[in-house]
C-alpha cells in the first residue's frame, strides 16, 4: 500500500497549489482527481474559459465599434464561433498542461479516480470499477463546488444551461434570459451580448452584484443598460415551459404578484454555487458539515477528524480561485509545522466585464453597519489623462479610510483594467497603510492607476486634477 505525508482530494486551484507547496516543504504528496483533466472548475469550466471568451468577444466588439473612431478602418467583423471556441479550448489545454507539468516537476503522484475518505489516514481511489486504498498522514479535502439548481427547472446544458453550458453554446442565442445578476450572469451575459444576443437578467434582489459596494453596483448597472442589458430586479423565475421551439419563462415579482411570461432561446441559471462533497464518505468518516453543507473547519483548516483538513469552495468564505490557492498554501504550511495564515480582510474580488469592477476590503454598507466612522475619496476616470486620450472614461475609484486613523479600509474601482489596478490597494492594506501613504506614493504618468492616487488624495480633499 502506497503511503504519503499528504493526499489532496481535488486538483482545482486550492488542491494543486496545496500539493505544490507541500512538496516544496519536503512532503511526499499525491493528488486524487475524478475528472479527466487536472485544474478543477477554475481551469476547465470556470475562470479560464470565461476569461478567454470575455477577451475574444471584447475584441469582436472593439473591432466593430471602437476601431473606426481611432482611425482604424476595417470591414465589419464576422463571428466564427467554432474558431472562438477553439481559442477558448487552447487556453484551457495550455493551463491544464501547466498543472500537469507542476505535478511532475514537484514529484507529486497523480491518482486518477474518485477519492473517498475511509477515516483519518486512509483514502480509497476508485476508477473504472477498480479501487485502491492509499495510506497517508494527512488529507486535504479540496473538492470545490457545483452549480446551485432552481427547483423544478431542469438544466439540460443545451437550452437551459448552467455556466458550463453557457461556455460552450454552438450558436449565439437570439434571446438569452439569465437568472441571477451575480458575477457569472454579468460576465457570461456580456460575452453573448457582445456576440449578438439580446440579454435579459432576472434578479431576486432589488440590486445587482449583492455583496459589492452599492454605489458601484448602481453605476455599473446603468453602464450595462447602456450596453443593451435589460434587468428585471426584485423578480424570480418560477418555471420554464420547454414544449415549444422557444422557451416560455414564467417570471413573478419576488414579493409575490402576477406572473408574466418572457420568451427566450436559452436560459442561463446562475444563482450561486454549492459545496461539492458527493461520494467523499464524510459522514461515515465523521467529518462534520456546517448548516449550509460546507465542510466545517477551525481557524487552521482542521476538520472534526484529526489529520483531515479542508480548503477552497468546499469550506466557508468567498468562492474564489485565489482564496482557494492562498488557503492551499496556508494549510500545507500548517501541516509542515509552520504558521500558515490567510488574511480574509484583504481578498480582492474582480468582475471581468467591460468596464471591470474590482474591490478589496469593506464596502460603505459594511462600514455603516459596523458603525465605523469613515471618510470617502472618489476620483472619476473622466478626469484621468490616460483614460481621456484612450476615450475609455467610464467609471471611478473610491477609497474608504478610517475617519480617525486614515487607515484604508476598502477600495472599489469601476473601470477598464480595474482588476489589475486593485492590487496596489491590496498591498497597501496588507501593510495597514493609510490614504496618505497611497496619496504620497509616486505613480507613473500617464497611467490609469493615477486615478487611485487621486482618489486617495481626495480622502483629504486635495485631489489635483478635479
Nearest to 383 by CA among 417, 409, 425, 415: 415
77 sits near ligand NAI (criterion: CB under 6 A): no
Nearest to 419 by CA among 115, 54, 33, 31: 54
Question: To the nearest whole angstrom, how small is the minimum distance from the Cβ of residue 273 to ligand NAI?
Answer: 4
> Cα 132 from chain centroid?
35
Q: Choose among ligand FAD, ligand NAI, none what residue 204 binds, the Cβ cut-off being 5 to 8 Å by kind.
A: ligand NAI
CA angle 123/127/128 to nearest 5° reads 155
Q: Choose among ligand NAI, ligand FAD, none what residue 266 binds, the Cβ cut-off being 5 to 8 Å by kind.
A: none
Nearer to ligand FAD by Cβ, of 350 and 439: the residue is: 350
Q: Choose among ligand FAD, ligand NAI, none what residue 236 binds, the Cβ cut-off being 5 to 8 Å by kind.
A: ligand NAI
Binding residues vs ligand FAD (CB under 6 A): 9-15, 32-35, 40-42, 46-47, 50, 114-115, 142-145, 163, 184, 276, 279-280, 312-313, 319-322, 324, 352
Residue spans of beta strands (DSSP E) within 336-431: 349-351, 356-361, 374-380, 396-402, 408-415
Question: To the nearest whole angstrom, how small is the minimum distance from the Cβ of residue 169 to ligand NAI?
Answer: 17
Nearest-angstrom CA–CA distance, 189 and 269:
11
Which DSSP symbol is given to 291?
T
Whose cell is 476508477? That residue is 127
Q: Do the strands 130-141 and 308-310 form a parallel or antiparallel pair, or are they unpaired?
A: parallel
32 sits near ligand NAI (criterion: CB under 6 A): no
Residues β-bridged to residue 198: 175
Question: To the nearest whole angstrom, how small is the minimum distance from the Cβ of residue 61 to ligand FAD?
Answer: 19
Question: To the nearest whole angstrom, how small is the minimum distance from the Cβ of residue 23 to ligand NAI?
Answer: 27
Q: Choose among ligand FAD, ligand NAI, none what residue 91 binds, the Cβ cut-off being 5 to 8 Å by kind.
A: none
**Helix, strand, or coil (residue 58):** helix
Q: Which residue lies nearest ligand NAI, judged by its C-beta? A: 182
Cβ-Cβ contacts under 8 Å for 120 (sequence gap 6 or more) = 139, 285, 305, 306, 307, 308
On whether the CB atoms of residues 398 and 252 are closer than 8 A, the answer is no
Q: Which of residues 189-248 bind ligand NAI (CB under 6 A)?
A: 202-205, 210, 236-237
Kindly list the catalytic residues: 445
Q: Which of 84, 183, 266, 311 binds ligand NAI (CB under 6 A)?
A: 183
Q: Which of residues 244-303 bind ligand NAI (CB under 6 A)?
A: 270-273
C-alpha cell recorded at residue 161? 444551461
CA angle 325/166/114 to nearest 5° reads 50
Q: How many residues bind ligand NAI (CB under 6 A)?
A: 26
On whether the CB atoms of residues 29 and 4 are closer than 8 A, the answer is yes
Q: Choose among ligand FAD, ligand NAI, none what residue 449 binds, the Cβ cut-off being 5 to 8 Å by kind.
A: none
184 sits near ligand NAI (criterion: CB under 6 A): yes
Q: Which of 182, 312, 410, 415 binds ligand NAI (CB under 6 A)?
A: 182
Q: Choose among ligand FAD, ligand NAI, none what residue 203 binds, the Cβ cut-off being 5 to 8 Å by kind.
A: ligand NAI
- The length of the chain, given as a count of residues: 466
CA angle 296/300/306 to nearest 5° reads 70
| Neighbour tally for 360: CB within 10 Å | 25
Q: Which of residues 321-380 bind ligand NAI (CB under 6 A)?
A: 350-352
Question: To the nearest whole angstrom, how small is the minimum distance from the Cβ of residue 315 to ligand FAD?
Answer: 8
- What does the per-residue mask of binding to ligand NAI show for 93-132, with x meaning CB under 6 A? ----------------------------------------
Question: To the nearest whole angstrom, how small is the minimum distance from the Cβ of residue 119 to ligand NAI?
Answer: 32
CA angle 150/211/359 to nearest 5° reads 130
> Cα 158 from chain centroid?
23
Q: Where on the chain is the footprint of ligand NAI (CB under 6 A)?
A: 150, 179-185, 187, 202-205, 210, 236-237, 270-273, 318-320, 350-352
Amino acid at each position: 500500500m502506497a503511503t504519503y505525508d499528504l493526499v489532496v482530494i481535488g486538483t482545482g486551484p486550492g488542491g494543486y497549489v496545496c500539493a505544490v507547496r507541500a512538496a516544496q516543504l519536503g512532503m511526499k504528496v499525491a493528488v486524487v482527481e475524478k475528472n479527466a483533466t487536472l485544474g478543477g472548475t477554475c481551469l476547465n469550466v470556470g475562470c479560464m474559459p470565461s476569461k478567454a471568451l470575455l477577451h475574444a468577444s471584447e475584441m469582436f466588439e472593439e473591432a466593430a465599434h471602437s476601431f473606426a473612431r481611432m482611425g482604424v478602418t476595417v470591414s465589419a467583423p464576422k463571428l466564427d464561433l467554432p474558431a472562438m471556441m477553439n481559442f477558448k479550448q487552447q487556453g484551457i489545454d495550455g493551463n491544464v498542461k501547466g498543472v500537469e507539468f507542476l505535478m511532475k516537476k514537484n514529484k507529486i503522484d497523480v491518482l486518477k479516480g474518485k477519492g473517498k475518505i475511509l477515516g483519518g489516514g486512509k483514502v480509497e481511489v476508485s476508477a473504472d470499477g477498480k479501487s485502491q486504498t492509499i495510506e497517508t498522514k494527512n488529507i486535504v479535502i479540496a473538492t470545490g463546488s457545483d452549480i446551485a439548481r432552481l427547483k423544478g427547472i431542469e438544466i439540460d446544458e443545451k437550452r437551459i444551461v448552467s455556466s458550463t453550458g453557457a461556455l460552450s453554446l454552438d450558436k449565439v442565442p437570439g434571446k438569452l434570459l439569465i437568472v441571477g445578476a451575480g458575477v457569472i450572469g454579468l460576465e457570461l451575459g456580456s460575452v453573448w451580448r457582445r456576440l449578438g444576443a439580446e440579454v435579459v437578467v432576472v434578479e431576486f434582489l432589488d440590486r445587482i452584484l449583492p455583496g459589492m459596494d452599492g454605489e458601484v453596483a448602481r453605476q455599473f448597472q446603468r453602464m450595462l443598460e447602456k450596453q443593451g442589458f435589460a434587468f428585471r430586479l426584485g423578480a424570480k423565475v418560477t418555471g420554464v415551459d420547454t414544449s415549444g421551439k422557444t422557451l416560455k419563462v414564467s417570471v413573478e415579482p419576488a414579493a409575490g404578484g402576477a406572473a408574466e411570461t418572457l420568451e427566450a432561446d436559452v436560459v442561463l441559471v446562475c444563482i450561486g454555487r454549492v459545496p461539492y462533497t458527493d461520494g467523499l464518505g464524510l459522514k461515515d468518516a465523521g467529518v462534520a458539515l456546517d448548516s449550509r453543507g460546507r465542510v466545517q473547519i477551525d481557524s487552521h483548516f482542521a476538520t472534526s477528524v484529526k489529520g483531515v483538513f479542508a480548503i477552497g469552495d468546499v469550506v466557508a468564505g468567498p468562492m474564489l480561485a485565489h482564496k482557494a490557492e492562498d488557503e492551499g498554501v496556508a494549510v500545507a504550511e500548517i501541516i509542515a509545522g509552520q504558521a500558515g495564515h490567510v488574511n480574509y480582510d484583504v481578498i480582492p474580488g474582480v468582475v471581468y466585464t467591460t468596464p471591470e469592477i474590482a474591490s478589496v476590503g469593506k464596502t460603505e454598507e459594511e462600514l455603516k453597519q459596523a458603525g465605523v466612522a469613515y471618510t470617502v475619496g472618489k476620483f472619476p476616470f473622466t478626469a484621468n489623462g490616460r483614460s481621456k486620450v484612450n476615450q475609455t472614461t467610464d467609471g471611478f475609484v473610491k477609497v474608504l479610510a478610517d475617519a480617525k486613523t486614515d487607515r484604508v479600509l476598502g477600495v472599489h474601482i469601476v473601470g477598464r483594467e480595474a482588476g489589475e489596478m486593485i492590487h496596489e490597494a491590496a498591498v497597501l492594506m496588507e501593510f495597514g497603510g493609510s490614504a496618505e501613504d497611497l496619496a504620497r506614493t509616486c505613480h507613473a504618468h500617464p497611467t490609469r492607476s493615477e486615478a487611485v492616487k487621486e482618489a486617495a488624495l481626495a480622502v483629504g480633499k486635495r485631489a489635483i486634477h478635479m
